[in-house]
């Protein structure tokens, strides 16, 4: 008589340091419940020195994969077997997918940002190519690299990157692969940007994160932007940042990074399970977490 097959519960993780206040477990648990799947999602504090061991553990049966957040998004790359084209181009992985002992690094921040922007902007405004005007990306870290990929490769728009430390923006532009279709990607100081054509500004810096009065554009005249411009702030805590308030005061549209957070989680869950749970499930879980008063990390 053969034994009943052992049902291994599906498991997914977040590796980050710190990890305690992550909003991801709430979203993924809601997704498992909605999809009718038995699975767990656990946020683990993994110090940098322990990342190799933690990643090796993802090869175990029943493990779907993991999300990676600070400080692991870049240092995990050499620990993985494959990278998707987006992860390779961005140079950062926020999602590891496990299949039969092999680990693939994916970056769902970039398509997550795209999906969030698609909820806010008409398709021909968003994908207007060069005619859509340049996209201004503020910041030069990992999130900025995802924003640059979204703007250059997914939206096919010219990109100007502006960072507090200009040398970092220069390095980002200098080391990025040549854009397709004659698109332009350059680092600039704030006063060099053609603001009058910039219909999309993305804050990918951490200015404003947990500091309500901090902004990546202090003493800036938002009337320099076209009146139909959208200011997208990847920061979502506080939910109403000073950048957003300043943009709105000038009559512009502004949104925080919760949409991107929800969509990057939706895309990671779909990559692990094959189930595309509606974004609304992730949005609703974030609302529950916010009213429950928990924290700020991916």
Ligand X SMILES: NC(=O)c1ccc[n+]([C@@H]2O[C@H](COP(=O)([O-])OP(=O)(O)OC[C@H]3O[C@@H](n4cnc5c(N)ncnc54)[C@H](OP(=O)(O)O)[C@@H]3O)[C@@H](O)[C@H]2O)c1
Chain residue whose CB lies nearest ligand X: 141
What minimum distance in Å lies between the beta carbon of 96 and ligand X?
A: 16
CA trace torsion 77, 97, 116, 158 (10° rounding): 40
The conformation of residue 152, written as its DSSP 8-state character, comes to: I
* φ, ψ for residue 244, nearest 5 deg: -65, -45
Paired residues of 255 in beta bridges: 232
Q: Is 278 helix (H, G, I), strand (E, B) or coil?
A: coil
Residue 128 labeled ligand binder: no
Which H/E stretch holds residue 164? none
Which H/E stretch holds residue 286? helix 279-292
Q: Which of residues 191-250 bind ligand X (CB under 6 A)?
A: 204-207, 209, 214, 216, 234-236
Please report whether residue 172 would count as binding ligand X according to CB under 6 A. no
Is residue 237 among the annotated active site residues? Answer: no
- Which residue in the set 165, 180, 191, 291 belongs to the binding site for ligand X (CB under 6 A)? 165
Residue 264 labeled ligand binder: yes
Would you say 257 and 234 are in contact if contact means Cβ atoms under 8 Å apart?
yes
Which H/E stretch holds residue 85? helix 85-90
Contact letters for ligand X, residues 35-54 (x by CB under 6 A): --------------------
Residue 109 labeled ligand binder: yes
What minimum distance in Å lies between the beta carbon of 242 and ligand X?
A: 11
Residue 67 labeled ligand binder: no
What minimum distance in Å lies between the beta carbon of 235 and ligand X?
A: 5
What gap in Å lies between CA 292 and CA 298, rounded to an integer? 16
What minimum distance in Å lies between the beta carbon of 9 and ligand X?
A: 27
What minimum distance in Å lies between the beta carbon of 54 and ligand X?
A: 19
Q: How many residues does the chain have?
A: 298
Please report whether residue 164 would count as binding ligand X according to CB under 6 A. yes
Residue 2 labeled ligand binder: no
The conformation of residue 239, written as its DSSP 8-state character, comes to: S
CB-nearer residue toward ligand X: 111 or 257:
257
Q: Looking at 11, 28, 72, 73, which residue is catalytic?
A: 73
Q: Is 20 left (phi over 0), alpha (psi -120 to 50) or beta?
A: alpha
**Residues acting as catalytic residues:** 73
* Binding-site annotation: residue ranges for NADP(+): 139-143, 163-168, 234, 257
Residues in contact with ligand X by CB under 6 A are 109, 139-144, 163-165, 168, 204-207, 209, 214, 216, 234-236, 257, 260-261, 264
């Amino acid at each position: 008589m053969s034994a009943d097959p052992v049902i291994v519960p599906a498991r997914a993780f977040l590796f980050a340091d710190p990890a305690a206040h992550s909003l991801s477990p709430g979203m993924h648990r809601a997704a498992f419940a909605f999809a009718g799947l038995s699975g767990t999602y656990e946020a683990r504090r993994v110090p940098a020195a322990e990342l190799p061991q933690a990643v090796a553990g993802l090869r175990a049966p029943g493990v779907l994969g993991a999300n990676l957040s600070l400080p692991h998004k870049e240092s995990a790359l050499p620990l993985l077997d494959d990278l998707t084209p987006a992860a390779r181009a961005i140079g950062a992985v926020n999602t590891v997918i496990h299949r039969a002992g092999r680990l693939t690094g994916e970056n769902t921040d970039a398509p997550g940002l795209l999906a969030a922007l698609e909820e806010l902007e008409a398709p021909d405004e968003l994908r207007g190519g060069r005619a859509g005007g340049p996209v201004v990306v503020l910041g030069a870290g990992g999130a900025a690299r995802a924003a640059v990929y979204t703007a250059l490769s997914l939206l096919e728009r010219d990109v100007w990157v502006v960072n507090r430390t200009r040398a970092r923006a220069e390095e980002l532009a200098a080391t990025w692969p040549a854009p397709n279709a004659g698109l332009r990607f350059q680092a600039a100081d704030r006063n060099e940007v053609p603001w009058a054509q910039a219909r999309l500004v993305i804050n990918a810096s951490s200015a404003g994160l947990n500091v309500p009065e901090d902004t990546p554009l202090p003493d800036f005249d938002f009337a320099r932007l076209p009146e139909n411009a959208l200011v997208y702030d990847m920061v979502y805590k506080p939910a109403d940042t000073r950048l957003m308030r300043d943009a709105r005061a000038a009559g512009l549209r502004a949104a925080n990074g919760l949409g991107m957070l929800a969509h990057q989680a939706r895309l990671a869950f779909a990559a692990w399970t094959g189930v595309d749970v509606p974004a609304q499930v992730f949005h609703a879980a974030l609302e529950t977490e916010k009213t429950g008063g928990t924290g700020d990390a991916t």
